[in-house]
């Protein structure tokens, strides 16, 4: 199993629910924890995830794959190519499902990031966090043009990707 398959298997086990929204939210929580406290140990991360009631920590599958999954997620966040992407449904899924998953991912990210209680010092980081709180309430409007909604979804997806990386950088500055 390659590192990305291992990461996905771990996230699916951690989500404990095959619903796309739950998987997206779980990924968001883990990424939020990693962004808010980038130098946490695996033990600290597992304790925080358990404290947030994410996953069944009595599961051997979760415990066994924790290290490889966290390592892969950290590598994605630290990539110099900035190729991190939130785990969201593909474009062939209905827009309403993708939007719900995007909102769930952001909700999870905010919970994970907040659990690390980082003190934001940069105005850009504070603004990004405020805007993420608004994105968490995202929904589709049946009266809007499909093309307009698709464009808005693409812009929101890119915004949360960049905001995540910005907030991770803030976390790195604080823990240095």
- pLDDT value at position 167? 92
For the chain, give the number of residues: 176
Query: Which of these CATH numbers, 3.40.190.10, 3.40.1190.20, 3.40.50.150, 1.20.120.740, describes 3-175?
Result: 1.20.120.740
- pLDDT value at position 95? 92
Which carries the bigger pLDDT value, residue 12 or residue 124?
Answer: 124
Token couple for 37: 């406290």
Note the pLDDT tens digit of each residue in 87-113: 899 899 999 899 999 999 999 999 999
C-alpha triplet 106, 72, 78: angle, nearest 5°: 70
- pLDDT value at position 80? 86
Q: Where are the domains of the chain?
A: 3-175
Burial class (CB in 10 A: 0-12, 13-18, 19+), 26: buried
Note the pLDDT tens digit of each residue in 117-136: 778 888 898 899 899 998 88
Mean of the per-residue pLDDT values of the chain: 84
Burial class (CB in 10 A: 0-12, 13-18, 19+), 115: middle
């Amino acid at each position: 199993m390659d590192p990305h398959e291992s990461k996905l298997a771990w996230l699916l086990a951690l989500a404990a629910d095959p619903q796309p929204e739950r998987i997206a939210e779980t990924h968001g929580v883990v990424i939020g924890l990693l962004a808010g406290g980038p130098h946490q140990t695996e033990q600290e991360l597992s304790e925080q995830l358990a404290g947030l009631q994410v996953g069944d920590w009595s599961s051997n599958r979760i415990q066994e794959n924790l290290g490889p999954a966290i390592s892969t997620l950290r590598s994605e966040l630290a990539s110099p190519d900035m190729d991190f992407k939130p785990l969201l449904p593909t474009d062939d899924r209905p827009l309403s499902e993708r939007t719900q998953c995007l909102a769930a991912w952001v909700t999870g990210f905010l919970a994970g990031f907040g659990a690390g209680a980082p003190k934001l010092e940069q105005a850009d980081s504070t603004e990004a966090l405020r805007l993420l709180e608004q994105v968490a309430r995202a929904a589709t409007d049946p009266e809007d043009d499909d093309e307009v909604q698709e464009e808005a979804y693409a812009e929101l997806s890119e915004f949360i990707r960049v905001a995540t990386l910005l907030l991770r950088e803030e976390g790195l500055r604080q823990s240095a």
